[in-house]
Amino acid sequence: MSYLSTKDFLADKDFVDRWQYTLRSGELDLSWMRAGTEKVECKPQNARRGLTFRDLDVPGYGYTTMPELARENRSFAPRGAEIPAGCPDLQAEVNRKSEVWAYNVEGYYEEAMSRQWNATTDVPWAELIEAKLPDDVARAYSQLLTFLTEVEMIATDVPCKWLGRLNADFFEVKNFIATQAMDEARHAEIFRKRALSTGWGLMRASAQNEFNLKFLRDADSFAEASLALHLQAEGMVLTLFRFSEYISPTDGDKKLFRLVMQDEARHVGYGMQHLKWVLDHFPEKRELIHHHLDEAENFVFGGGYATEVLEPFIILSGKGLKKENVAQGVRITLAFQMKQTEEYFERLAKCGMPERRDRSRLWKMLELNKQALGVAA
């Protein structure tokens, strides 16, 4: 029932009479006490860990027995509650478990909740600001931080876009995605704060990167968005963070990247466990996944080669702009880019797609790069 105004509400005589009668007479209806639901008393399996989502995985409420198609519930009714007639149809777009589910998704949520950190207080800001960086290095760092802020802003928008489109029955996934949005918002915060504390501020946004990022936002389905975001983009960013930690100008900056990495590893973990789950339960989707990856690889991998990312990376890895610094920077950056591609294919192999190497132009590109640079394949 919905009412546009108080007048409409008062005009619903049945409802108003019942409500006023209850208050006047004190006679209660109590039909909700006879809800046809399972009586349960869930307990922590491990008292030290506390009551987890896994402890609630019992008949009538659990996720193990949840059907592939969330057909029954179209409303906000929490899974396991009685759904009376007349609940609104929320028209959720994603109603298939296979589109969202991942092994251990409930564990990823619990981990996210217990490992939240604070960008305002967990980084030694005073120490970072005191460590004056050489101008070229500081400017390159500010440029890298500008790029990372752009990346994290889109990484916040994508889970938020899908959160309300998932059927309410998938609430473990929805909760996980909510923590992801919070993590990404904190990443955008920490990179912005660091850029504005280098003495230079932000540098230049990148059109090339933004087109790649827009592709992530515009994916047609959650399955595509998740492959492109959780598995590809965030996997790529995870390698980028590891290298960024390595080339960071101060120990405080290394700490900053370590904090961000622990969240990013969890997001990639969800993407991998989701893909594994789909391949295990719906092997017929393999071809479709290859098709999505073909498309996403075109866009996602272009980002790392944009001038606004490549050049600051070279300067930071070589620790300056002198000829010998740049030569050293180019060597490290090439090693990073090759590692990034290799790790992407390693992740896919771990998920059960070792054949992706032979199907992808990226793998061919990596081999060509190795040949050109005289690196052993």
- In the numeric block, which tokens belong to residue 118? 């604070």
The smaller minimum CB distance to Fe ion, of residues 108 and 141, is found at 108
Residue 172 Cα distances to 82, 159, 233, angstroms: 19, 14, 23
Cα dihedral across residues 251, 253, 259, 260: positive or negative = negative
Nearer to Fe ion (CB atom), residue 123 or residue 366: 123
Q: Residue 187 CB, nearest distance to Fe ion (Å)?
A: 4
Cβ 222 vs Cβ 100: under 8 Å = yes
Query: How many Cα atoms sit within 13 Å of 328 on the Cβ side?
Result: 12
**3 state DSSP class of 292:** helix
Residue 286 CB partners (closer than 8 Å, separation 6+): 279, 353
- 63-to-49, 89, 97, 197, 283 alpha-carbon distances in Å: 20, 22, 10, 46, 21
Both tokens assigned to 92: 């959720």
Q: How far is the CB of 73 from Fe ion (least distance, A)?
A: 29
Q: Could you tell me where the beta strands, DSSP code E, fall in the chain?
A: none
By beta-carbon proximity to Fe ion, the closer residue of 234 and 297 is 234
- Binding residues for Fe ion, rule: CB under 5 A, are 152, 155, 184, 187, 234, 264, 267
Residue 290 C-alpha from the chain's centroid: 21
- Taking the complex as a whole, the smallest distance from the CB of residue 166 to Fe ion amounts, in Å, to 18
Pick 97 or 267: Cβ nearer Fe ion: 267
The token pair at 167 is: 């059927």
The smaller minimum CB distance to Fe ion, of residues 155 and 332, is found at 155
Phi first, then psi, for residue 96 (nearest 5°) are -105, 130
Angle 372-374-377 from CA coordinates, rounded to 5°: 95
Identify which of residues 184 and 308 has a Cβ nearer to Fe ion in the complex. 184
Nearer to Fe ion, 184 or 253 (CB): 184
CA–chain centroid gap for 78, Å, is 24
| Dihedral, 33, 39, 44, 50 alpha carbons, nearest 10 | -20
User: Considering the complex, what minimum distance in angstroms separates the CB of residue 273 from Fe ion?
Assistant: 15
Measured from the CB atom, the residue of 154 and 314 that comes closer to Fe ion is: 154
